[in-house]
Amino acid sequence: MRKLVAFALAITLFVSLGGSFSWRAFGEVEAQAEEAEEATQGAPALKLNAKGAILMDPQTGRVLWEQNAHFKGYPASMTKLMTMVVAMDAVSSGQVSLDDPVQVSERAESFGGAEVFLAEGEVFPLEKLLIAIAVASANDASVAVAEHIAGTEEAFVELMNRKAKELGLKNTNFTNCHGLHDPNHYTTPYDMALVARYALRYPKILEWTSIKRYTFRQEPLTILDTTNKMLYWYPGTDGFKTGYTEAAGLNLVSTVERDGLRLIAVVMGVETPRGHFTESMKLYNWAFRQWKWHKIYNPGETVAEIGVDKGRQEKIPVVASGKVGAVVPRTGKEEERITTRLEIPGLIKAPVKEGQKLGEIVVLEDGREINRTDLLAGQDVPRAGLKQEIQRVIRAVFIF
């Protein structure tokens, strides 16, 4: 069975990456698949070949498993996840637009390593450069984005460190926007998981980091292949970023969703080839055997109805803005400890706009709050006309 799975993985890589098939590559993938599977035997014990690692529930920020999670190491290109976060903060605030034309500077052109070979004076939409960062880990694109948003890379790095403090990152310091080695540029698995948790607020970041192959230019033809092979090897993977320098070792901050359960994992300081992928696979294999998603409401599902004062309709559906539930162990009846509390008004005045926030639903475990989700108006409700108001008054009098 393992050989069939590994063979399928190898064929998938062959078709998706456009590479030539080799039995040596097949053997390497087979060995990795066997290692990842065997490592989960005997759970709940788990030991990864990494200097530091963590597994986090992004809904609550709860740490589900850790191994030296506060190990201070070099993030390398995992740095670019924070670069994308700061860029999306700027988009969200209206400071910049994803359609903005970004002109490449001489300094941005000078950055080698992982790059998309930008030339001074070239102009690209901001989003295209962010995709180059997400897919190909482009250093030159990172600098071009930083300069466009903040004027200089140094000013952009100040924004990165300000965001780090805002998110509660206590063992992180950035000196650049790309992750090339600097002894004063460091983070921890725990801090990186917090960055990843925040990044999930922006669907665009997940969209970009889930791209496997992307045509960046037509002339000269430039096709980018993802550095995150977990997108091919591990079903449910849809983000985020790899990182490697000789000083850092192999790093990976990733996220996987299966059967409604989304998890974040970070591994840092892995020394074996492809080990940041195989060690992450071990961790996820273990995790999905230990935990499950207890669904209460799906995104967009009606949670309640509330009255509308002076509206054309007297009631309006209230829907969940995102999924509502909790991560619970697969064993036992932990879901019985999960309850909810609605925080919504009994009546709201018209007019009401679809998507307008009307309240929140709070998820509790043994009466303790673990998460909350916005509740939104499920449809528009215009203000009632005078004729409709008079008819309601007459009806109320006769019913009385």
Just list the catalytic residues: 77, 80, 137
Q: Please answer whether residues 147 and 126 qualify as being in contact, where contact means their C-beta atoms are separated by less than 8 angstroms.
A: no
Distance between terminal CA atoms of the chain? Answer: 73
Find the DSSP H helices in 234-328.
275-290
Mind giving me the DSSP string for 14-47?
A: HHHH-----HHHHHHHHHHHHHHHHHTTTTT---
Helix segments in 99-152, DSSP class H: 106-109, 126-136, 139-150
Half-sphere exposure of residue 80: CA atoms within 13 angstroms, side-chain side: 36
Asked whether 355 and 381 are in contact (CB, 8 A), the reply is: no
Contact 186, 173 (CB under 8 A): yes
- What is the distance between the alpha carbons of residues 218 and 196, in angstroms, rounded to a whole number? 32
The one-character DSSP state at 186 is B
SS3 label, residue 102 = strand
